[in-house]
């Protein structure tokens, strides 16, 4: 079985109808809030190493997590700090994964030109002058796999870790079936 490593989980939620970002920025040490540059407040956590984006609308985006547990932990930590600062917020928000980025290694060099021809231009983009990887779209699960000549791959667009596993198994099986992978 190919080893898959989750690199980033991006998730969103809502802590309520409106957040006073100015007062949150004053209460959260290290928070970055420059509304003329970016409409949200950026708060970086050291443990787990994530970034939380807070918006006036109450929307929250967590990025940089390596697992759903890290997302939940990060949002709970920030929520507790905001609540301690006196703001009324939803302490148990529904968290929705927007994107999972994962990497893997097929442990063998691959010929991207042969793969591009075999898989067909309807689902593959390969322009080595512009980007060294081959972009392969998979319909089910609906993800994008970037393949590199070294055999390394990146999967993006997944909503759950099992989507990544299915996609990697699918592309591996397809490449082996076409004798493009040992």
Local confidence band at 38 (pLDDT 50, 70, 90 cut-offs): very high
Which are the contacts of 120, defined by CB distance < 8 A and separation ≥ 6? none
Local confidence band at 1 (pLDDT 50, 70, 90 cut-offs): low
- Domains of the chain, first to last: 11-97 (3.30.310.10), 106-177 (3.30.310.10)
Rounded Cα gap, residues 146 and 134, in angstroms: 6
Backbone angles phi, psi at 176, to 5 degrees: -65, -45
Question: Both tokens of residue 145?
Answer: 């796999």
- Mean pLDDT estimate for the chain: 95
Collapse the DSSP code of 76 into the 3-class scheme (helix H, G, I; strand E, B; otherwise coil) and give the result: helix
Rounded Cα gap, residues 124 and 131, in angstroms: 13
Longest dimension (CA), the chain: 62
Q: What is the pTM of this model?
A: 0.92
Percent of the chain with pLDDT over 90: 95
Rounded Cα gap, residues 57 and 8, in angstroms: 24
């Amino acid at each position: 079985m190919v080893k898959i490593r989750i690199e980033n989980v991006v998730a969103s939620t809502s802590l309520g109808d409106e957040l006073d970002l100015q007062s949150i920025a004053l209460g959260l040490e290290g928070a970055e809030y420059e509304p003329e540059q970016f409409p949200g407040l950026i708060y970086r956590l050291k443990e787990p190493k994530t970034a939380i984006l807070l918006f006036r609308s109450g929307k929250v985006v967590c990025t940089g997590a390596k697992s759903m547990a890290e997302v939940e932990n990060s949002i709970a930590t920030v929520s507790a700090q905001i609540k301690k600062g006196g703001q009324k917020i939803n302490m148990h928000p529904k968290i929705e994964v927007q994107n999972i980025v994962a990497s893997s290694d097929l442990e063998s060099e691959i010929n991207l030109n042969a793969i591009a021809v075999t898989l067909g231009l309807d689902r593959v983009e390969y322009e080595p002058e512009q980007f060294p990887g081959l972009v392969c779209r998979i319909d089910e699960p609906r993800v994008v796999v970037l393949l590199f000549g070294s055999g390394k791959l990146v999967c993006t667009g997944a909503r759950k870790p099992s989507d990544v596993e299915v996609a990697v198994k699918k592309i591996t099986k397809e490449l082996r079936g076409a004798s493009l992978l040992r």
